């Protein structure tokens, strides 16, 4: 990958999927998506560091929260990860929060202008949500989304642990996060459309972090969901099977 590539780089003619047959276009996109894994592998050491730091914060204070921050695609990816922590690991709802540009309505409808709130407005939105013992994870593929960067800066002032996940190098989010994770995925097949490879890398990265954090906090035992929340018959059967297997060992 050329280091100067960013998520905004215009694809060369060899990547113009609108001029290809379906099979060729699909293969090009699959190959491009595979670079998401490469980007994550290249950042494995800092991902490991983030897991250790997050576990330390969350285990020291029973009220510490995981707070996800984002705008647009990144916000929707963040919510996908965070909402699963309760049913899968029994992580309390009160210990997961979301700070989303545009609020809840932005999860199902684009509210892109919300990214440009003033610093004062952002502080009004988050001042009662973030505490010094919280973990704040900000996602922005570009690394320059004003809303996310400003929330991370404010969280730093409060003393929270901040983790920034971005897909371009040398960005504001990288510079202001206490633990910057740069998933350098480069050019998108559709220039600037970070719902593609960049979004894939963010989802996998969050999945790795949150799953291993929950495991280190005792919410996974012998590869099973020992703290899962039962909400239907299927899950009741699964829970019975898990309890039986764990009681035998």
Tell me how many domains the chain contains. Answer: 2
pLDDT band at 103 (very low <50, low <70, confident <90, very high): confident
Is there a domain that residue 5 lies in?
no
Same domain for 226 and 213: no
The catalytic residue among 84, 112, 124, 174 is 84
Residue 176 contacts residue 164 (beta carbons within 8 Å): yes
Mean pLDDT over 48-73 rounds to 96
Confidence check: pLDDT of 139 > 60: yes
Same domain for 118 and 68: yes
Mean pLDDT over 194-209 rounds to 96
Q: Which of 81-85, 135-139, 178-182, 192-196 has the lowest mean pLDDT?
A: 192-196
Long-range pairs for 41-47: beta carbons < 8 A, 24 or more residues apart = 42/184, 43/181, 43/182, 43/183, 43/205, 46/179, 46/180, 46/181, 47/181, 47/205, 47/208, 47/209
pLDDT at 1: 42
pLDDT at 102: 83
Cβ-Cβ contacts under 8 Å for 82 (sequence gap 6 or more): 66, 68, 96, 98, 210
Is there a domain that residue 226 lies in?
yes
Same domain for 197 and 84: yes
Is there a domain that residue 205 lies in?
yes
For 69, how many CA atoms within 13 A lie in the half-sphere containing its CB? Answer: 34
Is there a domain that residue 53 lies in?
yes
Question: Which strand ranges, in their side-by-side order, compose the sheet holding 161-166?
Answer: 96-100, 66-70, 135-140, 161-166, 179-182
Confidence check: pLDDT of 137 > 70: yes
pLDDT at 111: 62
Same domain for 162 and 227: no
5 is catalytic: no
Mean pLDDT over 4-19 rounds to 92
Confidence check: pLDDT of 64 > 90: yes
Same domain for 226 and 214: no
Same domain for 66 and 38: yes
Confidence check: pLDDT of 184 > 60: yes
Is there a domain that residue 63 lies in?
yes
pLDDT at 19: 96
CA distance linking residue 73 with residue 39, whole number of Å: 19
Same domain for 244 and 205: no
Confidence check: pLDDT of 168 > 90: yes
E strand or H helix at 151: helix 146-158
Same domain for 205 and 88: yes
DSSP string, 135-147: EEEEEESSS--HH
pLDDT at 116: 61
CATH code of the domain containing 121: 3.40.50.10490
84 is catalytic: yes
């Amino acid at each position: 990958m050329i280091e100067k590539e960013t998520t905004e780089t215009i694809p060369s003619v060899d990547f113009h999927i609108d001029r290809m047959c379906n099979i060729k276009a699909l293969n090009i996109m699959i190959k491009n998506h595979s670079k998401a894994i490469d980007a994550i592998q290249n950042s494995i050491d800092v991902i490991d560091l983030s897991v250790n730091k997050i576990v330390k914060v969350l285990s020291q204070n029973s009220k510490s929260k995981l707070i996800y921050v984002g705008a647009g695609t990144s916000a929707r990816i963040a919510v996908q990860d965070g909402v699963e922590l309760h049913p899968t690991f029994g992580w309390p709802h009160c210990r997961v929060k979301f700070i989303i540009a545009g609020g809840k309505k932005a999860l199902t409808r684009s509210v892109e202008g919300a990214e440009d709130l003033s610093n004062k407005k952002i502080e009004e939105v988050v001042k009662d949500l973030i505490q010094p013992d919280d973990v704040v994870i900000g996602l922005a593929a570009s690394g320059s989304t004003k809303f996310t960067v400003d929330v991370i800066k404010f969280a730093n002032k409060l003393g929270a642990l901040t983790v920034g996940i971005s897909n371009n190098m040398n960005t504001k989010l990288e510079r202001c996060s206490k633990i910057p994770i740069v998933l350098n995925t480069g050019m998108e097949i559709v220039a600037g459309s970070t719902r593609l490879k960049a979004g894939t890398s963010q989802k996998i990265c969050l999945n790795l972090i949150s799953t291993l954090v929950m495991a280190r906090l005792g919410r996974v035992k012998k590869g099973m969901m020992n703290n899962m929340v039962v909400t239907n018959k299927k899950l009741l059967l699964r829970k019975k099977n898990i309890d039986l297997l764990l009681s035998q060992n």
